[in-house]
Chains A and B, each alone.
Chain A
Amino acid sequence: MASCSKTQVILLYKMLIKECKKLPSYNYRTYALRRVKDGFRENLHDDNPKSLDRLLNQARESLAVIKRQASIGQMYSAQRTIVEETGVHRDI
């Protein structure tokens, strides 16, 4: 089926990762990237077409959510956190 082809899945994965990187908040961004990667990895060997359909629909919905939340985050942005500035450790 077209919706379950390997290229479709990989395309969806790449789009998700691209949108996740646009989340301005450090904590949300790291969580989203980690969750997307783990989510795809966990269902790597799933062959059942029904569950694959469900999972891909879930992924497409998540993509829409991440896009909207990335825009909202950019509209109401805040300062960056300490850990984002790699290599800069503040003394007391």
Chain B
Amino acid sequence: MVADIVVFIGLWLFHLCSLLAKEQTGIDFSTFEFSCIQHSGNSLDICQYVGYLMRNNIFTELIKSRALEKDELRPLYMDFQATTPMDPRVLDAMLPYQVNYYGNPHSRTHAYGWESESAMEKARKQVADLIAADPREIVFTSGATESNNMSIKGVARFYKAKKNHVITTQTEHKCVLDSCRVLEAEGFDITYLPVKSNGLVDLQLLEETIRPETSLVSVMTVNNEIGVMQPVEEIGRICRSRNVFFHTDAAQAVGKVPINVSDWKVDLMSISGHKIYGPKGVGALYVRRRPRVRMEPLQNGGGQERGLRSGTVPTPLAVGLGAACEIAQQELEYDHRWVSLLAKRLVQKIMSEVPDVVMNGDPEQRYPGCINLSFAYVEGESLLMALKDVALSSGSACTSASLEPSYVLRAIGTDEDLAHSSIRFGIGRFSTEAEVDFTAEKCIQQVKRLREMSPLWEMVQEGIDLKSIKWSQH
């Protein structure tokens, strides 16, 4: 009897909370309640359920992220390093293969298969032309993460008997670092090279680190957080002279800077579809044939894609990737000019009006469309929330869940407080001057407002050197 009353009161409170939450978040919790009651039958289950919600901070999670209302205006998209909108021409190329030409490209016996295969081969040629490779050297994958995993684990494991050393840098993408960590657990020796304070790899250090047991060097072409472009040609030359395979994660560089795999002496290159205005869920891996790069396949099966990546190649996605690569090749110069123009406009506007702004990464050796600025004496998350009309990011999407500042900024040696207050502006093909002006103005306005509220800023204005303060412990 008492238990029933407790349950009743509990449910009533829960109902009240859900109504309140509905107002705040726009999400209807009544279906949660109903299914919860249906599944459980006693008060214990319900208490456990509420406990689960509270432990996992589901309410706070839901309050932060919500879908836009019907008449709300959409924020501006300035996060082109996270992903890019699909070019309408790419969608136009993909649609026939989603609607009518749905055959499996590996079916050899009928027209559906033949037309699908010819589309896939055409896409392969388009991707190869962008990087000056041979079409037989391109393998379609599910994205740059899979390509990175395949190349690092595949090459390292194949040459494990004689060579067990792999070199990479500290600013690589998480998938590269995680693959290396897995290899370490298998018994490999990995060196994570430090980078200079401008984000570039020290070539002298790289040469010294290469040993006779080194099988692979992996250095990304353009960094996705700070936008620096590594000296890939020199690294390729060093690796070729020491007979070491060179893998580069070119997800952010393909279609944005001119690439020639022969000039660069690159043996493996990862390409991502959704970074070059193509579809999500597809990528490619360039695997050199002369001199042949051998690797252990990660995904076994029917032997598709030269046995390196078995599985049906998704024709619509491959066609989309091919179209995106062809468009990128045609528009490379035009887009580069436009992006450089907008980037210069944004940086000049912000830096001229707001003092104490640091641009992370080398100012010359960079891709202009990725700008990472650190605003001193302002907290990054609060600035992002204040700029909620603009879709920005502080660091890469794959690390934004944790509270720590980005490891890339830590690797280039930024101070903790500057690392916490960094924002990444991404500019792309579809950005406009109006968007850039709006972003710059809002940024300046919010930084000034947040600084006025900051006691640290007050102290700096009075001339106190913050590093000389001895903060007392409580």
**Interface set of A (CB-CB < 8 Å, partner B):** 23, 26-28, 30-32, 35, 38, 62, 65-66, 68-69, 72-73, 78-85, 90, 92
CB of B110 closer than 8 Å to a CB of A = no
Q: Residue on B with the closest CB to A92? A: B386
CB of B72 closer than 8 Å to a CB of A = yes
CB of B28 closer than 8 Å to a CB of A = no
Q: Least Cβ distance of B83 to chain A in Å?
A: 14
Q: Is there an interface contact between B76 and A83, defined as CB atoms closer than 8 Å?
A: yes
CA distance A32 to B88 in the complex (A): 10
Within B72-107, the residues touching A (CB, 8 Å) are: 72-77, 85, 88-89, 91-92
Residues of A with C-beta under 8 A to B431: 27
Q: Least Cβ distance of B126 to chain A in Å?
A: 16
Q: Which 8 A-B pairs have the closest CB atoms?
A: A27-B430, A69-B88, A81-B74, A83-B434, A65-B92, A82-B73, A30-B432, A31-B430
CA distance A92 to B445 in the complex (A): 10
Q: Is there an interface contact between A82 and B75, defined as CB atoms closer than 8 Å?
A: yes
Q: Is there an interface contact between A83 and B432, defined as CB atoms closer than 8 Å?
A: yes
Contact of B71 among A26, A79, A84 (CB under 8 A): A79
Q: Is there an interface contact between A65 and B73, defined as CB atoms closer than 8 Å?
A: no
Residues of A with C-beta under 8 A to B34: none
Q: Residue on B with the closest CB to A39? A: B334
Residues of A with C-beta under 8 A to B91: 69, 72
Given A30-B432, A92-B386, A79 and B73 contact (CB-CB distance below 8 Å): yes
CA distance A83 to B431 in the complex (A): 11
CB of B134 closer than 8 Å to a CB of A = no
Q: Is there an interface contact between B438 and A83, defined as CB atoms closer than 8 Å?
A: yes
CA distance A6 to B257 in the complex (A): 36
Q: Least Cβ distance of A24 to chain B in Å?
A: 11
What are 25 contact pairs spanning A and B, CB under 8 A? Answer: A27-B85, A27-B432, A28-B85, A28-B88, A28-B430, A30-B430, A31-B429, A65-B88, A65-B92, A68-B92, A69-B88, A69-B91, A69-B92, A72-B91, A79-B68, A79-B72, A79-B74, A81-B73, A81-B74, A81-B75, A82-B73, A82-B438, A83-B435, A83-B438, A84-B73
CA distance A72 to B91 in the complex (A): 10
Q: Least Cβ distance of B113 to chain A in Å?
A: 26
CB of B389 closer than 8 Å to a CB of A = yes
Given A68-B92, A69-B92, A79 and B70 contact (CB-CB distance below 8 Å): yes
Q: Residue on A with the closest CB to B442? A: A89
Interface residue total, chain B, C-beta cutoff 8 A: 25
Q: Least Cβ distance of B199 to chain A in Å?
A: 29
Residues of B with C-beta under 8 A to A30: 430, 432
Q: Is there an interface contact between B88 and A90, defined as CB atoms closer than 8 Å?
A: no
Residues of B with C-beta under 8 A to A78: 74
Q: Is there an interface contact between A81 and B430, defined as CB atoms closer than 8 Å?
A: no
Q: Least Cβ distance of B383 to chain A in Å?
A: 12
Q: Least Cβ distance of A2 to chain B in Å?
A: 27
Q: Least Cβ distance of A39 to chain B in Å?
A: 9
Q: Least Cβ distance of B312 to chain A in Å?
A: 26
CA distance A85 to B434 in the complex (A): 11
Known: A69-B88, A82-B75. 8 other contacts (CB 8 A): A27-B430, A65-B89, A68-B92, A69-B91, A79-B70, A79-B72, A82-B73, A90-B73
Q: Residue on B with the closest CB to A86? A: B434
Q: Least Cβ distance of B174 to chain A in Å?
A: 28
CA distance A64 to B195 in the complex (A): 49
Q: Is there an interface contact between A38 and B334, defined as CB atoms closer than 8 Å?
A: yes
Q: Residue on A with the closest CB to B438? A: A83
Within B401-440, the residues touching A (CB, 8 Å) are: 429-432, 434-435, 438
Q: Is there an interface contact between A82 and B432, defined as CB atoms closer than 8 Å?
A: no
Contact of B76 among A23, A72, A81 (CB under 8 A): A81
Q: Least Cβ distance of A25 to chain B in Å?
A: 8
Q: Least Cβ distance of A82 to chain B in Å?
A: 5
In the complex, which of the residues B70, B77, B91, B432 has the most CB atoms of chain A within 10 Å of its own CB atom?
B432
CA distance A79 to B70 in the complex (A): 7
CA distance A69 to B85 in the complex (A): 14
Q: Residue on A with the closest CB to B430? A: A27
CA distance A78 to B334 in the complex (A): 28
Residues of B with C-beta under 8 A to A69: 88, 91-92
Q: Least Cβ distance of B345 to chain A in Å?
A: 15
CA distance A81 to B430 in the complex (A): 13
CA distance A79 to B88 in the complex (A): 18
Q: Least Cβ distance of A67 to chain B in Å?
A: 10
CA distance A62 to B330 in the complex (A): 14
Residues of B with C-beta under 8 A to A28: 85, 88, 430
In the complex, which of the residues A26, A28, A82 has the most CB atoms of chain B within 10 Å of its own CB atom?
A82
